[in-house]
Amino acid sequence: DVVLTQTPSTLSATIGQSVSISCRSSQSLLDSAGNTYLYWYLQRPGQSPQLLIYLVSNLGSGVPNRFSGSGSGTDFTLKISGVEAEDLGVYYCMQATHAPYTFGAGTKLELK
Amino acid sequence: EIQLQESGPGLVKPSQSLSLTCSVTGYTITSGYDWSWIRKFPGNKMEWMGYISYSGSTNYNPSLKSRISITRDTSKNQFFLQLNSVTTEDTATYYCASLLWASFDYWGQGVMVTVSS
C-alpha cells in the first residue's frame, strides 16, 4: 500500500498566521493518464471529515480560498493563509491513485 | 442535499460480526456515486474499507477482503457493512460516505463501535 507521511504531526498557530502541512508519498501519485489523485480533508472536533482540496489543488465546494494545495509526484503541501479559529482540527491527506485508497496519519492544528 | 446516517450497535463481542447501516437521503443510491465505508481508529488513523457502486459492484480493501461484505437495499436507499470475526483492533468510529471521482464528498456523522467482551 502507498504510505503517506504527513509532517508535522501537530501544528500550533496563532490566529492570522500562515501555516503549511506536508504530505509525502512512498510512490508517485501521477497516473498513466496524467492525473494525480491527492486530496486533503479536515476533521473538526466532533464533526465528520470535510473535503478541502481535490486533485492536488482544487478547492472543494464552499471551502474558503485561504486554503490552497500544491505539489506533484510524491511531495504535496496544504497551505492555510491566515488561520482562523474554525480551521482547528485534524488535517488528512489521502491518495486514490493506487489501490487501496490510503490516508496520512493526520496533522492536528491547534491554537498557540 | 445528500445526507448519510449510520446506525448499528455500539458494542460487539470479539469473534462476532459487526453490522452497520447507512441510510441515504437526498439522492438515490442507484443514480450515481459509489457508497463507501471508512473507519477512524483511536489515535486518528483512517482506513478506507470498501465501497458498493451505484450499479451494485463492490470493491474492498485487500486488508479486509476475507472479512468484509458491503451490500445494499435499493428499496430503502440504504447500504450496509458487515465485518466478520471482529477483534479489539476493529474498535473504531465507522463512517459512511459518498464517493465520486475518488473524492469523499458527503459523510455521515459516524458511529463509534467498541469490540469488547
- B1, B13 contact by CB (below 8 A): no
Q: Which residues contact residue A71 at a Cβ distance below 8 angstroms, ignoring those fewer than 6 apart?
A: A23, A38, A56, A77
Place of cell 506533484: A72
Quote the CA–CA distance of B18 and B9 in Å, as a whole number. Answer: 8
Q: Which residues contact residue B12 at a Cβ distance below 8 angstroms, ignoring those fewer than 6 apart?
A: B18, B86, B90, B113, B114, B115
Tell me how many residue pairs between chain A and chain B have CB atoms under 8 A apart: 51
Q: Grid coordinates representing B103?
A: 473524492
Chain B residues closer than 8 Å to A101 by CB: 48, 61, 102
Nearest CB to B46; choose among A50, A51, A92: A92
Q: With helix as H, strand as E and coil as C, how does A19-65 read?
A: EEEEEEECCCCECCCCCECEEEEEECCCCCCEEEEECCCEECCCCCC
Chain B residues closer than 8 Å to A106 by CB: 44-46
For chain A, the residues whose C-beta falls within 8 A of a C-beta of chain B are 1, 37, 39, 41, 43, 48-51, 54, 60-61, 90, 92, 94, 96, 99-103, 105-106, 108
Q: Number of helices (H) and strands (E) in chain A: give both, helices first.
A: 0, 11
Quote the CA–CA distance of A88 and A17 in Å, as a whole number. Answer: 12
- Residue A98 in 3-state DSSP? coil
A103 and B63 within 8 Å at the Cβ level: the answer is: no
pLDDT string in tens for chain A (112-residue length): 999 999 999 999 999 999 999 999 999 999 999 999 999 999 999 999 999 999 999 999 999 999 999 999 999 999 999 999 999 999 999 999 999 999 999 999 998 8
Does residue B89 carry a pLDDT above 90?
yes
Mean pLDDT, range B64-73, rounded to an integer:
95
Quote the CA–CA distance of B2 and B100 in Å, as a whole number. Answer: 13
Closest by Cα among A84, A49, A9 to B43: A9
Residue of B nearest to A105 (CA): B45
Q: Which residues contact residue B9 at a Cβ distance below 8 angstroms, ignoring those fewer than 6 apart?
A: B18, B19, B113
Give the per-residue pLDDT at B65.
80
Chain B residues closer than 8 Å to A90 by CB: 44
Among B6, B60, B104, B112, the residue to mutate for chain A (most A Cβ within 10 A): B104
B102 and A39 within 8 Å at the Cβ level: the answer is: yes
